[in-house]
Amino acid sequence: MNELFRIILSLVIVIGFVLINSLVLVWLERKVSARIQLRRGPLYVGWFGLLQTFADALKMLGKELIFPKNCDKVLYFLAPILSFAPVLGAFLVIPFGQHLVIQDLNIGLLLVFAFSGLSFIGIFMAGWASNNKYSLLGGMRSVAQNISYEIPLLLSSLNIVMMAKSFRLSDIVRAQAHVPFILLQPLAFIIFITSALAESNRTPFDIPEAESELVAGFHTEYSGLRFGIFFISEYTYVFISSCVATALFLGGSHGPFLSGWAWFLMKAYFVVFVVMWVRWTLPRLRSDQLITFAWKVLIPLSLFNIICTALALQLLKQ
Amino acid sequence: MSSNNYIYVLVFFVVGLLFAVAFTCTPLILSPRSRGKKKTSTYESGEDTLGSAWVQFDVSYYLFALIFLAFDVEVIFLFPVVLTYSIAPLLIDLLKIVIFIGILALALAYAWRKGIFSWK
Amino acid sequence: MSYITNIFTGFWSVLAGMVVTLKYMFRKPVTEVYPRVKKPMFPRFKGPTSFVVDEKTGDHRCISCELCVKICPSLCITLEKERGEDKKFHLKEYKVDYTLCSLCSLCIEVCPTDALTHAKDYEIPALSQSEMINDFLKPFREKQKTSQPVAP
């Protein structure tokens, strides 16, 4: 009975957090982009325009859902759902504080990667089911990019597993009590952030949804809340990958003065900010450049990094 | 055993599915409906589409899928190996890891040499 | 070797670009919050033509000479006058059709009493053509109405 209550409570908190967090992140994105381009961004609705995205979400609620004439109806309906459903599961293992974790599974790291790897199935389904050439191109590019960058993502996190001696995210955080792993594994951090950017389809790796050439790619044909749910899942994946980056490299909830969860959220939102900062700095890459960058640069570098870490462990054994 | 409670994973996934279904179905009640011939047509910058989008596609994407399959399986092998190695770092294990990664790198070098990464 | 230097220069250029955008982030925004904050117009801005309000009498200075009507190249001014009891012309109606006016300021130059000027107003949109015909005497009439003492 107690367990049931715990499940329901955590579900409610996570769903609420996912919705509010994505709205806040959209607001933050608009503000950051505006400041970088010397604009002001949303101003009027609420405090500093903070309620602007809530208003947009309400508007989206009143939009008609369209089934395009030529689409594959079942897949078209399922695609946004499949891209959103794994989002909640990824929150299970993220250690927000010292003991603030819903289920501290011993395969936590793998679970997060598994759940975030599921999302691009939804994206590809959306691209295929729309029966639109833009969407198909977007879906194809998305799959090629996601599978290419999945490997450096896993390889760079292997270094951390080797140093923390565990897959459990809270153990990894505990291993960084004195020195965060970013200082010991800077190369792995750079590889991880780059691949995480690509995994969540953010600029400079956003060819699946390149607005100017593919008219938003895989969600060209989607309208209303179906489109909105793609948006929510994209922004939540950004947040999840910054949470994982925080737990793996930035020392998680460790920090002086403030309590653990405050430090964790601060670091996670800082990583989110860096992701947005990168987005509004760098231009979009060409499709083939992007995929070959993963295979020619990131994967050799991360293989090299693994061997270096293994050697260092061997040398420091005594 | 409360720390390894995998029922949570199932429940979270199922609730995620249900929530998404409910979320995408609310506009069916709230939203207006309108009709028109062009409304449900496929978007292609205002032009009528020529044929279906379900056509043959560039093969280089499938090549990436193939090497990804090989690499991903090998990375999965690396995970437990690396974990046991980190707990008890033996020299012979290091050698094995280096050989394994060397073979991986050879596969990569082969694909590179074959020109998979340079699109024509 | 060029492979490694390529990686380093690429990484370095990304960092350099990020520093540039970070600097821009702390600059003052250049955009105006337009409908909320209106920008004061420049002194020589040529807005729509309008009557000058005389400081002494508080009325317009038009003597109904019709010079502006004659010189107007786009024939947008309609003027009606009547001879009053003092044998002088009194302005009955002065309307400018802004759908025709090209803001050439010839009427302003030709006016013998400097009764016309360019207003500083730049928000003159309208929903119909009839709204674009501006009655110049309207503000003066309203002023008369408000200033007249109410009968006891």
d(CA A174, CA A260) in angstroms, rounded, equals 12
Instruction: Per-residue pLDDT tens, chain A, 318 aa: give them.
Output: 677 787 888 888 888 888 888 888 888 888 888 888 888 888 887 788 888 888 888 888 878 777 777 778 888 888 888 888 888 888 888 888 777 777 777 888 888 888 888 877 888 888 888 888 888 888 888 888 888 888 888 888 888 888 888 888 888 888 887 888 887 888 888 889 888 888 877 767 777 666 677 777 777 778 778 888 888 888 888 898 888 888 888 877 777 777 778 888 888 899 899 888 888 888 887 777 888 888 888 888 888 888 888 888 888 876
Confidence band, pLDDT 50/70/90 cuts, at residue C147: low
A63 touches chain B (CB under 8 A): yes
pLDDT in tens, B8-54: 888 888 888 888 888 877 777 777 777 777 777 777 777 777 777 77
* Beta-carbon separation of B16 and A84 below 8 A: yes
Percentage of chain B surpassing pLDDT 70?
96
d(CA A35, CA A122) in angstroms, rounded, equals 33
Confidence band, pLDDT 50/70/90 cuts, at residue B1: very low
Return the pLDDT at B4: 52
Q: Which H or E run includes C90?
A: strand C89-97
What residues in B contact A156, CB-CB < 8 Å?
none
What's the CA angle centered on C137, arms C133 and C140, to 5 degrees? Answer: 140
Residues of A with CB under 8 A from a CB of C: 32, 34-40, 43, 190, 277-278, 280-282, 297, 301
Is the ipTM of this structure higher than 0.90?
no
What residues in C contact A38, CB-CB < 8 Å?
24, 27-31
Closest CA to A45 of A37, A55, A35: A55
CA dist C105 to C29, C46, C59, C66, C123, Å? 36, 8, 22, 15, 19
Letter string b/e over residues A55-89, b meaning 16 or more CB atoms within 10 A of that residue's CB: ebbeebbebebbebebbbeebbbbbbbbbbbbbbb
Q: Subunits touching B (CB < 8 Å, at least 3 pairs)? A: A
* Beta-carbon separation of B65 and A65 below 8 A: no
What residues in C contact A301, CB-CB < 8 Å?
7
* Position B120 pLDDT exceeds 70: no
Ranges of each domain in chain C: 49-147
C and B touch per CB criterion (3+ pairs under 8 A): no
* Beta-carbon separation of B40 and A66 below 8 A: yes
**Residue A293 CB-half CA count within 13 A:** 19
Closest CA to A70 of B71, C89, B40: B40
C27 touches chain A (CB under 8 A): yes
Closest CA to A134 of B20, B116, B24, B46: B46
Q: Which CATH code is given to the segment(s) C49-147?
A: 3.30.70.3270
C12 touches chain A (CB under 8 A): no
B and A touch per CB criterion (3+ pairs under 8 A): yes
Question: How far A38 CA sits from the closest chain B CA (Å)?
Answer: 31
Return the pLDDT at B108: 84
* Beta-carbon separation of B68 and A151 below 8 A: yes
* Beta-carbon separation of C22 and A39 below 8 A: no
What residues in B contact A144, CB-CB < 8 Å?
61, 64-65
pLDDT in tens, C65-124: 888 888 888 888 888 888 877 777 888 888 888 888 888 888 888 888 888 888 887 777
Confidence band, pLDDT 50/70/90 cuts, at residue C149: low
pLDDT in tens, B82-118: 888 888 777 888 888 888 888 888 888 888 888 777 7
Q: Which residues contact C118 (CB under 8 A, 6 or more apart)?
A: C45, C46, C47, C48, C49, C50, C103, C105, C108
Return the pLDDT at C56: 78
